[in-house]
A and B are shown apart, each in its own frame.
Chain A
Amino acid sequence: MKPVKTRVILIAVFIFISFFSIIPSIYPNTPGWWKAVIGNAEMHLGLDLQGGVYLVEKVEVDKAVKEKLYKDYSDIKSFIKTKNIGKGKDLTFKDEYIALSGNLLKNKPAVSRLKNYLKNHHISLQLSGDIINFKPSALALYKKEAVGGAVEVMRNRIDQFGLVAPKIARQGKDLIVVEMPGVKNVKQAIKLIGKTARLTFKLVDDKHNLMDALNGKVPKGDEILYHITYNKYTHKTAKRPYLIQKAVLMDGAAISSANVQMNRYNQPVVGVSLNSAGAKQFGNITTKYTGERLAIILDNNVISAPVIEEPILGGNASISGRFTMAQANNLAIALRSGALPAPVKIIQNNTVGPTLGADSIHDGILAAIVGTILVIGFMIFYYKLSGLIADFALIENVLFLMAALSLFGATLTLPGIAGIILTIGMSVDSNVLIFERIREELREGKPVVIAVENGYNKAFFTILDSHVTALITAAVLFYFGSGPVKGFAVTLSLGIMINLFTSLVGTKVIFDMISNKKELNKLSI
């Protein structure tokens, strides 16, 4: 007699736990207490199965660095002009550094005052030789923060969609991976999270001629920006040029909140509240430039350029630009979540529509069912009743695998389903190994009970070795694979580990139960 009680109870408990934890993943109306018992763990469908977007965005840090240097350059220029250290042309902006003129460098006291100024006001800059550039340490930190900041801003924006299990993660030096499963309006979502949303206020240059500028004679310190309108009836976009002074009077950092409001013509506008510093700054600007046109610019597009009628001192303003409701909403979200510290560029965009996902699930499940039936049928055909015992272990294997995936809150992808299907085919392999051993022992004329014991014992290390080698590749796949491949590696390695238990313990206990009941003279194998 071999004691089987503990093993039977163990397997029964596992089967119960498995059913208990799988049900919330496949039956959406499972009661709340049930879900709570298993810690609200649930299997999620990957975006290749439920539809959605996978994006890799590259943060263009160099552009941000250049912009920051330009801003500092403007500061330093006004410093040397107001303090009479030098003239504006003594400094030249060269994208990666600021070049100093020979005249300025000869003037020793001026250089030392400049150095002092940098030390006190622009700690990240240094004067090295005849140029001013970023300190390497400051530059590295700035770049790192730019990417980290972009991740945060994107997370804020994605949270507004209310998706289940979106993912935003940094990858490598300057990449951000965004996964949005189940997102409805893909185009709008991509646009919104990638929007730099850098809001700036600049003056319209009405002193110079716009036509001359358009013909190539852009006045120094000016640029041409456009107001773009889209006509939904003719499907045409119209561009209206503006001559804008480059100097930034104020930017989006001054905004404390933004929301959509209706103006008196019942058109949506974006109302913004400024923080106290911003309100003061805005008051000064509108006082100083009353009568001129103030351009509100978002990511190099002129949204509107109203004339400043009177000083605005309250810290509240509204931006109107003939928005649709959706446009106004997006702008408000973008302004609330803050500007991206650097522009981003999409370098990978996988979009899967919900219909394709449904087709994939359908195909995957069909392939799994047919594969299972084929394997189960074959095992019974080839190993008779013993084959049936192996089939029991196979079902257990799949059941436990699904339960493990649910409890880990794993994301099921199409390659993940392929991994489950492959597990079905491989899971009986261990039993084939054991059964062939048992057959050998029986051929040598050993009694059934001993043949079974020997079969399991002799096959054990072979099975262990083969499982470890398979696990090694699965682990490597997990470590180097991306998205869907990771899903495949997870299901495969879980399947392999569970198989060790089901194919050894799960089948042996049945053999023992049978041999406990009656003297076995023949084995159906």
Chain B
Amino acid sequence: MEFIKNTHYNFIAKRKYSFVLSSILVIFGIIEIITMIAGTAKIGIDFTGGLSMQLAFKHKISISSVRKILIPAGFKDVKLVKIKGKNDIIIQTKAAAKDLNAYTAEIKQVIKKSFEKNPPKVVSSEMIGPSVGKKLSRDAVIAIIISIIAIILYITWRFEFRFGLAAAIGLAHDVLALLGVIFIFQKEITLLVITAVLTVAGYSLTDKVVVFDRIRENLKTETEKSKHIDLKGLVNISINEVLTRTVVTSLTVILVVLSLFFLGGIVLHGFAFTLLFGVLIGTYSSIFIASPIMVILNEKHYK
């Protein structure tokens, strides 16, 4: 069985389109970062501090009935989510400035009093002080920067600097475009989502390494044959040669990520979402972004 056989697509020629598409995604990604810094983005309570509590009611429950109780009691900035197929409701709030211990107790009491005939049980609760969130976001930023630097150094060492630079640009693109997708779908940035972003960074690099590896190999045999090299053509051939591999490896990962997305439960939902789009973007950028950029960076060198 083979999906793709002896392809001769001219990927490099399509770079105008891919650059436009990527620019749009990257711009959205930058907007996401700006809104994150400004504090208007959807950021999980693990970074902002706040409260998240999952209540399992004994009988059927609707969000509006809970909201009706909470708003008159003074809990206005509360987000309510109902879990499908269950009588569970998640209450979230970013009341970071208040005394969260007391706040949690108050919400619990108000609900317990109002639903005496449908008593809820606290299935899980998460209360995070604002200082913890600050430390966490700082750690996350440091983690992203350090891993990107370490990867560039490794690629530079294994290949050469121009490859490293192209991979780094591709990687920066992947992270920003992924944040762009998160912005478009208005997904919440949580600790697990950041973990997924970092995992994708590692994975998409793996993908680029394979393509670059083939480019390097073909460059070596070609330079032995003649001095003049058609770099565009060579990169195109290389991408086509490893195309099946790129598609199939992504596909196997997408298969498991899809099962994680649909079956893995609510806790891992955002994580699986980010992985899914991350793998798609990483694969796309190996072909349509990192490789054309490699051509641009190397053109002077081989002319």
Residue ranges of A at the interface with B (Cβ–Cβ < 8 Å): 48, 56, 58, 172, 346-353, 355-356, 359-360, 363-364, 366-368, 370-372, 374-375, 378-379, 381-384, 414-415, 418, 421-422, 424-426, 428-429, 432-433, 436, 439-440, 461-462, 465-474, 476-477, 479-482, 484-485, 488, 492
Question: When A415-B271, A469-B206 are in contact, do A461 and B124 touch as well, CB less than 8 Å?
Answer: no
In the complex, besides A422-B275, A424-B256, A429-B253, 11 extra interface pairs with C-beta distance below 8 angstroms are A58-B131, A172-B135, A349-B125, A350-B125, A351-B122, A360-B265, A415-B268, A422-B199, A461-B213, A469-B151, A474-B199
Residue of B nearest to A363 (CB): B265
A371: contacting residue among B124, B154, B244, B255, CB under 8 A: B255
**B195→A415 contact, CB < 8 A:** yes
- Within the assembled complex, what's the spacing in Å between the Cα atoms of A347 and B146? 28
Cβ-defined contact, B132 with A465, below 8 A: no
Residue B101 at the chain A interface, CB threshold 8 Å: yes
| A236 CB to nearest B CB, Å | 13
Closest CB of chain A to B96's CB: distance in Å? Answer: 11
Contact B256 A433 (CB under 8 A): no
Complex Cα distance, B242 from A473, in Å, reads: 24
- CB neighbours (8 Å) of A426 from chain B are 203, 252-253
Q: Which residue of B lies closest to A383 (CB)?
A: B1
- B4 CB to nearest chain A CB (Å): 10
User: SS class of chain B's interface: helix, strand, loop or mixed?
Assistant: helix
Given A364-B265, A470-B206: A371 touches B260 (CB 8 Å cut-off) = yes
Please give, as numbers and ranges, the residues of chain B lying within 8 Å of A56 by CB-CB distance.
Answer: 129, 132
| Contact present for B198 and A476 (CB under 8 Å) | yes
Majority DSSP secondary structure for residues of A touching B: helix
Are B209 and A465 in contact, CB atoms less than 8 angstroms apart? yes
Q: Does A421 lie within 8 Å of B260, measured CB to CB?
A: yes
Bound Cα distance from A415 to B190, whole angstroms: 13
Q: List residues of chain B with CB within 8 A of the CB of A471.
A: 202
Would you call B265 and A347 a contact (CB within 8 A)?
no
Please measure, in the bound complex, the distance between the C-alpha atom of A425 and the C-alpha atom of B249, giving whole angstroms.
8
- Specify which chain A residues have a CB less than 8 angstroms from the CB of B151 in the assembled complex: 469, 472-473
B140 CB–A CB distance under 8 Å: yes
Q: Please report the C-alpha to C-alpha distance between residue A468 and residue B139 in the assembled complex, in whole angstroms.
A: 22
The verdict on B98 contacting chain A, using a C-beta distance below 8 Å, is no
A-B pair number, CB within 8 angstroms: 207
Contact, CB under 8 Å: B263 / A366 = yes
CA distance A474 to B196 in the complex (A): 11
Listed by A's residue number, 27 A-B pairs whose Cβ atoms lie within 8 Å are A346-B129, A347-B129, A351-B122, A356-B54, A367-B260, A367-B264, A370-B259, A382-B248, A414-B268, A418-B268, A421-B256, A421-B260, A422-B260, A425-B252, A426-B203, A436-B242, A436-B244, A461-B213, A465-B158, A466-B206, A466-B209, A469-B151, A469-B155, A476-B198, A480-B143, A482-B139, A488-B199
Contact between A477 and B199 (Cβ–Cβ < 8 Å)?
A: yes
**Once the chains bind, are A422 and B128 in contact (CB under 8 Å)?**
no
Residues of B within 8 A of A (CB): 1-3, 54, 56, 101, 121-129, 131-132, 135-136, 139-140, 142-143, 146-147, 150-151, 154-155, 158, 191-192, 195, 198-199, 201-203, 205-207, 209-210, 213, 241-242, 244-245, 248-249, 251-260, 262-265, 267-268, 271-272, 275
CB closest residue in chain B, given A187: B122
Q: Chain A nearest CB: distance from B29 CB in Å?
A: 19
B125: chain A residues at CB < 8 Å are: 349-351
Complexed CA–CA distance, A375 and B258 (Å): 11
Q: Is the CB of B195 within 8 A of A485?
A: yes
A415: chain B residues within 8 A (beta carbon):
192, 195, 268, 271
